[in-house]
Chains A and B, each alone.
Chain A
């Protein structure tokens, strides 16, 4: 019943408009780039000073200095540009990046995002550009499994993990549902076939409301 995360990425890609400037977070969200159709021209931004970032190079053609935020080798597309870090973050913080897709440990019904620290004291804390992206991108989409591996809900009334940013998430895409963050909390827009509203609520700690016309998530167009 749960969607494969590649199908979640495909669903997110549908919501990325032609011409958008997009920053994809490290990890799961990078799957989205592979799913954006060739009919759209999307410009990918990387926090280390790249616009027009392209896919991974062919083996043997890696440039150790041309990397993405996850430190993986990438390429530059025709029309791409390099710039320095302060400008890269000005684009993020200043609302110039249209959209970001981020992973999450928890999202609250108020749109608070927790995705940088789990309070595991055995590792040093590390934040990178997560906070700047979350506060600055014009639209913040979250891509996550609906629950943790242990079955704990990730959509919660209040985050218990340390916050990345407060009140920033616009929409959440999980392997069970698509939900908007509204003034009244999570509003379910789509859910996978074969799942009841009670099932979905049971996998969610925050209280859900449902759109009048809840769509089916995962149907291939």
Chain B
């Protein structure tokens, strides 16, 4: 029998090792798996490469990982959000490496990893400093930059509801990076507001099929 539900946040992040590359869902404060990130913090995991769109703000989630010096490198598109004080502090001190990636390229690199592709050529970034050192090819008369796949050892994702097979639906714009990250990691851990019985999710509306999901944990809505 398949049952991907786990009982606790600690169980959800069990086995995540130091040095892991962790894909963390969310855009701004929307769709961030806050409790899973804090479970990782509580576990003591360190030397992480974190792939996420923003670099956290205030004192929670990715900002807390940065504050506690658990992050070696961050791969993101927009680390300079309001309140991203811990990223800025660690970055200025040279304590965290930043790989800046255009947002669509960030998402597509993870998709390429999920799809088993060896990368792709994109016009995004051509003739800019973010393409420096990258292979360029002219396709249909337009310059394209080669981008490599970006797989995760772990993905931490927030969704609204899951069944025991790990099928997921999301809520409004909290979906953002979730479906791509879930498919791009060796271990995908999802926090949800609610568990439902198998068969209760309308198969026409399941956004992330359970094949991409390894563990689901329920987090009581605040």
Contacts and interface: CB of A to CB of B under 8 A. Distances in A.
Nearest to B81: A71
Nearest to A47: B103
B49 to A, nearest CB: 17
Contact of B80 (A82, A92, A126): A126
B94 to A, nearest CB: 12
Interface string A14-53: 0000000000000000000000000000000011111000
A165 B127 contact: yes
A65 B172 contact: yes
**For this complex, into which size category does the number of interface residues on chain B fall?**
35 or more
A128 B180 CA distance: 17
Contact of B171 (A65, A83, A86, A92): A65
Contacts of A46: 173
A89 B127 contact: no
Contact of A49 (B29, B105, B128, B173): B173
Contacts of B196: none
B122 A93 contact: yes
A165 B102 CA distance: 12
Contacts of B100: 125-127
B73 interface: no
Contact of A124 (B30, B82, B88): B88
A67 to B, nearest CB: 5
Interface of B: 27-31, 77-82, 87-88, 91, 98, 100-105, 107-108, 110-111, 122-130, 143, 170-180, 207
10 contacts: A49-B176, A76-B172, A82-B173, A85-B103, A127-B130, A129-B77, A162-B128, A165-B124, A165-B126, A166-B143
Given A67-B30, A136-B123, 8 more contacts: A48-B176, A49-B175, A65-B174, A67-B27, A86-B180, A124-B88, A127-B78, A165-B124
